[in-house]
Amino acid sequence: MNQIPITRNGAELLKAELKQLKSVDRPEVVEAIAEARAQGDLSENAEYDAAKERQGFIEGRLAQIEAILSQAVIIDPVSLSADGKCVFGVTVEIEDLDEEKNSTYQIVGDDEANIKLGKISINSPLAKAMIGKEEGDVVDFESPGGLKNYEIIKVSYI
């Protein structure tokens, strides 16, 4: 069985979503299906179709979250001791050497990645290039926009 790395925070968010889906969303959709059935003919009942579609989404997401959590290896960045190196879970401040612009990213699992929140996947080209590097190192990697050069300004285990 493959292990899936996930941060402590990411695991907590998935557990909260799982609880929401099981205790709120699933009962709501079951009730919506029952109400739609009570209206009679199901062949032309848009409410019934929408509720069944929503139920399929909920059940699929439940299975997905449960699979992730069953294979998860929870990593707490605070407890890491990596001697200043970039590893899974760290928060890295980098400077784009071409544009002289700083950005901060946390290296997380695929399921946690959200660039808008500053979380990049461990499997992204940038994260792969940073793994094992330290403050002051220059990272070169091929992005969709061409070759990029970043300097690692700060590595934080938070």
Residue 120 sits in a domain whose CATH number is: 3.10.50.30
Pair 33, 86 in one domain:
no
Can you tell me the mean pLDDT for 50-55? Answer: 94
Residue 133: pLDDT band with limits 50, 70, 90: very high
Q: Which two tokens stand for residue 72?
A: 């998860």
Using one digit for the tens of pLDDT, what is the confidence trace for 108-131? 999 899 999 999 999 999 999 999
> Is 85 buried (19+), middle (13-18) or exposed (0-12) by CB count in 10 A?
middle
Of 75, 99, 125, the residue at which a domain comes to its end is 75
Clarify whether residues 57 and 93 are in a common domain: no
102 and 33 together in one domain: no
Q: Which of 88, 129, 127 shows the shortest CA–CA distance to 6?
A: 88
Asked if the model's pLDDT at residue 31 lies above 90, the reply is yes
Tokens 């998860």, located at residue:
72
Q: Which of 60, 75, 90 is the last residue of a domain?
A: 75
Question: With 70 as the cut, is the pLDDT of residue 1 above it?
Answer: no
Amino acid at 137: D
Q: What's the structural domain count of the chain?
A: 2
The pair of three-digit structure tokens given for residue 55, joined into one six-digit string? 């139920």
Phi and psi, residue 154, nearest 5° = -150, 140
Clarify whether residues 35 and 87 are in a common domain: no
Bridge-based pairing state of the strands 146-156 and 119-121: unpaired
- Give the C-alpha separation, 82 to 90, whole Å: 10
pLDDT digits (tens, 9 = 90+) for 60-108: 999 999 999 999 999 988 888 778 899 999 999 999 998 889 999 999 9
pLDDT at 118: 96
3-state helix, strand, coil in the chain (%, to 5): 45, 30, 30
Domain that holds residue 119: 77-156
Beta strand pairing status for 91-96 and 146-156? Answer: antiparallel
- Confidence bin at 36 (pLDDT 50/70/90): confident
Same domain, 19 and 90: no
The CATH number given to whatever domain includes residue 46 is 1.10.287.180
Confidence of residue 143 (pLDDT cuts 50, 70, 90): confident
Question: Of 57, 75, 93, which closes a domain?
Answer: 75
- Model pTM above 0.85: no
